[in-house]
Structure 1
Amino acid sequence: MPHQSSTHGDTNIAAAATERTWWKDLLIYFVFFLSGAAALVYEISWTRQIGLLFGHTVHASTIVLASYFVGMSIGYLLGAKWSGRISPLKGYAIAEVVVAAWAFVVPLILQWSESSTIAPWFSNSSFALQTATRAVFSFLLLLPATIALGVTLPMIADYFTEDGRSQMSNARNSSRVTLAYALNTAGALIGVLSATFFMLVVVGVCTSSYVAAGLSVLCALAALFLEPKVTTPEEREASSESPVQDCRSTVGTGLFSLAFLSGFGILALQVLYTRMFSLVFHNSTYTFGIVVAVFLASLAIGAAITSRLQRRFAANRLIGVTTGLGALATAGSVVVFVLLTDLKYFSSGDSFVQYMAGAILLVSIVVAPAITCLGMMLPQVWVLAAQSGTAAKVVGNLTAMNTVAAALGALVASFVMLVWIGLWQSIVLIASLFLISSLVLLYRNKQTKFATAIAALTVAISVVSWQYQTESEFNRREYNERLIKRWNSAYGWIDVVQNEKSGSFKIRQNLHYRFGKTGGNVREYRQAHIPILLHDSPDDVLFLGLGTGLTAGGAIPHSNVENIVAVELIPEVVDAVRMLSDFNYNVADDSKVDIQIDDARHYLLANERAFDIIISDLFVPWESETGYLYTVEHYEIASQRLKQDGLFCQWLPLYQLGEREFESIANSFASVFPHTTIWWGQLETTSPVVALIGSRSSIEVDPIELAQRLDSLNTNATAPDQSIATPERFWDHYIGDWQLQANAQFNTDEHPRVEFLTPMSNRDGKMIKGKVLKQYFTDVLFNLPMTSATLQGDKLQDSLRRRSAQKLILFGR
Structure 2
Amino acid sequence: MSFMIVNPMTKKGDIRVETTQAADRWRSISDLKRQPDTFSYLIFFFSGVAALVYEISWSRQVGLLFGHTIQASAVVLSTYFAGMAVGYLVGAKWSLRVLPLLGYGVAELVVAAWACLIPFLLACSESHSFAAFLSSSSIGWQLTARVLFCFLLLLPATTALGITLPMMAEYLSRQRSRDMADPTNAGRVSLAYALNTAGALVGVLSATFFLLVVVGVRTSSYVAAVVSAACGVAAVLIAKKQKSRVERRASAGSGQSARDSQLSWFFVAALSGFGTLALEVLYTRMFSLVFHNSTYTFGMVVAVFLASLALGAALAARLQRRYRIEGLVGWSACSGALAVTFSVLTFVALTGLDYYDFGESFSQYISGALMLVILVVAPPITLLGMLLPLVWKAAGLGKRAGIVVGRLTAVNTISAALGAMAASFLLLPWLGLWQSFVLLAALFYVAGFVLLLRNGRLVWACGGALILVAVAMFALRSPVEINYGGTQLDEQLVRRWNSPYGWIDVVRDENTGSFRVRQNLHYRFGRTGDNAREYRQAHLPLLLHEQPQDVLFMGLGTGLTAGGAIPHREVKNAVAVELIPEVLEAARLLAEYNYGVVDHPKVDVCVDDARHYLLATDLRFDVIISDLFVPWESESGYLYTVEHYRVARDRLKPDGLFCQWLPLYQLGAREFELIADSFASVFPVTTIWWSEMDASKPVIALVGGDAPLELNADRLAERLTALERATTSSNQDLRTVEQFYDNYQGDWMPRNPSRLNTDEHPRVEFLTPISNRDRKMIVSLALLEYFDNVLSQLPSSAVALHTDGEPKSATARQRRAWQRLILFGGTIP
| Residues 251-400 of structure 1 mapped to structure 2, 5 A cutoff | 252-400=262-410
Is it true that 1:63 corresponds to 2:72 in the alignment?
no
Structure 1 25/406 Cα, relative in aligned 2: closer, same or farther at 3 Å?
Answer: same
Which residue is 1:160 aligned to?
A: 172
Indicate which of 560, 564, 567 corresponds to 1:554: 564
3-state SS of paired residue (2:568): coil
- In structure 2, the residue corresponding to 1:741 is in which secondary structure? coil
| 1:797 Cα offset (Å) | 5.3
1:749 alignment partner, one of 759, 764, 789: 759
Distance in 2, matches of 1:84 and 1:355, equals 50
Question: Of 417, 428, 432, which residue of structure 1 is paired with 2:442?
Answer: 432
The amino acid that maps onto 2:160 is A
Gapped regions of structure 1 (runs ≥ 5): 1-13
Q: CA deviation at 1:54?
A: 0.3
- Post-superposition Cα deviations, 1:631-669, rounded to whole Å, max 9, x if no partner, equal 000000000000000000000000000001000000000
- The code of the aligned residue for 2:660 comes to Q
Q: What corresponds to 2:14 in structure 1? A: none
Out of 441, 446, 459, the residue aligned to residue 451 of structure 2 is: 441
Deviation at 1:798, TM superposition (A): 2.4
SS of the equivalent of 2:129 reads: coil
1:225 pairs with 2:271: no
Which residue is 1:111 aligned to? 123
d(CA) in 2 for partners of 1:794, 1:710 = 19
Which residue number corresponds to residue 640 of structure 1?
650
User: Which entry has the higher C-alpha Rg, 1 or 2?
Assistant: 2
Q: What's the CA shift for 1:23?
A: 2.5
Residue 479 of structure 1 deviates from its aligned partner by 3.2
- The 5-angstrom pairing of residues 413-428 of structure 1 reads 413-428=423-438
What's the counterpart of residue 216 of structure 2? 204
Distance 1:33 1:165 in 2: 25
SS in 2 for 1:104: helix
Counterpart residue identity of residue 524, structure 1: E
Comparing 84-93 with 222-231, which one deviates more in the overlay?
222-231
Structure 1 residue identity aligned to 2:545: H
C-alpha distance in 2 between matches for 1:772 and 1:204: 31
TM (norm. structure 2) is 0.94
Q: State yes or no: 1:245 paired with 2:254.
A: yes
Q: 2:821 aligns with which of 795, 801, 808?
A: 808
Give the equivalent residue in structure 2 for 1:682.
692
Partner residue of 1:3? none
Figure out how many residues of one structure are paired with residues of the other and give that number.
Answer: 796
1:742 and 1:64, CA in 2 relative to 1: closer, same or farther beyond 3 A?
Answer: closer
Do the aligned partners of residues 231 and 221 (structure 1) sit closer, same or farther apart at CA in structure 2, a change above 3 Å counting? closer
Aligned residue for 1:482? 492
User: Does structure 1 retain, via aligned residues, the 8 Å contact 2:584–2:598?
Assistant: yes
Gap change, CA 1:774 and 1:506, over 3 Å in 2: same
2:462 corresponds to: 452
Aligned to 1:401: 411
Partner residue of 2:811? 798
Q: SS of the counterpart of 1:168?
A: coil
Q: 1:778 aligns with which of 788, 791, 795?
A: 788
8 Å contact 2:54–2:224 — kept in the other structure?
yes
Alignment RMSD: 1.8
Say whether the 8 Å CA contact 2:252–2:400 is kept in structure 1: no
Q: Is 1:102 paired with 2:114?
A: yes
Matched-pair contact (CA < 8 Å) for 1:193–1:293: yes
- Separation in 2, partners of 1:596, 1:684: 32
Compute the displacement of 1:388 (Å).
4.5
Q: Is the 8 A contact 2:106 2:236 kept in 1?
A: no
2:690 maps to 1:673: no
Deviations 1:293-337 (A, max 9, x none): 010000000001111111111211111111110000011111111
* 1:472 CA displacement: 7.2
Question: Aligned partners of 1:707, 1:458: CA distance in 2, in Å?
Answer: 69
Letter in 1 for 2:124: W
CA 68–332 in structure 1, closer or farther in 2 if over 3 Å, else same = same
Residues 69-109 of structure 1: per-residue CA shift (max 9 Å, x gap): 11101100110100011111111110100110111111111
Rate the CA distance shift 1:795–1:701 in 2: closer, same or farther, 3 A.
closer
Q: CA deviation at 1:163?
A: 3.5
The correspondence of residues 139-150 of structure 1 with structure 2, limited to 5 A, is: 139-150=151-162
| Shift in CA distance, 527/164, structure 1 to aligned 2, threshold 3 Å | farther
CA contact (8 A) 2:82 2:413 kept: yes
Structure-1-length-normalised TM-score: 0.96
- Say which is worse superposed, 459-468 or 678-687, in terms of deviation: 459-468
Which residue in the other structure is 2:739 paired with? 729
Residue type at the aligned position of 1:111: A
Map Cα deviations across residues 759-791 of structure 1 (whole Å, 9 max, x no partner): 000000000001100000000000111111111
Q: Which residue of 1 aligns with 2:19?
A: none
2:257 and 2:624 map into 1 onto residues whose CA distance is 57
Deviations 1:218-253 (A, max 9, x none): 111111222264566xx77x5053244399996721
Q: Percent identity?
A: 57
Cα displacement string for residues 320-374 of structure 1 (whole angstroms, at most 9, x for unaligned residues): 1111100000111111111111110001111100110111111111111100000
Q: Distance in 1 between matches of 2:113 and 2:177?
A: 31
Cα distance, 1:467 vs structure 2: 1.8
CA drift of 1:475 comes to 4.5
Relative distance call for 1:185 and 1:663 in structure 2 (3 A) is same
Q: How much does 1:622 deviate?
A: 0.2
The offset of 1:389, in angstroms, is: 1.4
Q: Is 1:598 equivalent to 2:611 in the alignment?
A: no
Could you report, residue by residue, the CA deviation over 1:494-520 in whole angstroms, capped at 9, with x for unpaired residues? 000000110000000000000000000
Partner residue in 1 for 2:65: 53
Q: What secondary structure sits across from 1:588 in the alignment?
A: helix
The alpha-carbon distance between structure 1 residues 743 and 532, as it changes in their structure 2 partners (threshold 3 A), is closer
Amino acid aligned to 2:217: V
Task: Detail structure 1 runs of 4+ shifted over 4 Å in the superposition.
Answer: 16-20, 246-251, 472-475, 793-797
Q: In the aligned structure 2, how far is the partner of 1:469 from the partner of 1:755? A: 35
Deviations 1:375-432 (A, max 9, x none): 0001110111111510110000000000000000001000000011110000100000
Distance 1:351 1:18, change over 3 A: closer
Given the superposition, is the C-alpha separation of residues 729 and 478 from structure 1 closer, same or farther in structure 2, using an over 3 Å criterion? Answer: farther
CA displacement at 1:464 relative to structure 2: 1.2
Question: Aligned partners of 2:83, 2:432: CA distance in 1, in Å?
Answer: 30
Read off the aligned partner of 1:187 and give its amino acid letter: G
Looking at structure 2, the residues matched to 678 and 218 of structure 1 have their Cα atoms a distance apart, in angstroms, of: 50
Q: Distance in 2 between matches of 1:472 and 1:210?
A: 48
**What are the equivalent positions in structure 2 for 1:682-701 lying under 5 Å apart?**
682-701=692-711
Amino acid at match of 2:518: R
Q: Say if 1:175 and 1:789 are closer, same or farther in 2 by CA, change over 3 A.
A: same
State the partner residue of 2:517: 507
Distance 1:367 1:279 in 2: 15
| C-alpha distance in 2 between matches for 1:617 and 1:812 | 28
State the partner residue of 1:176: 188
Provide the secondary structure at the position in 2 that maps to 1:498: strand
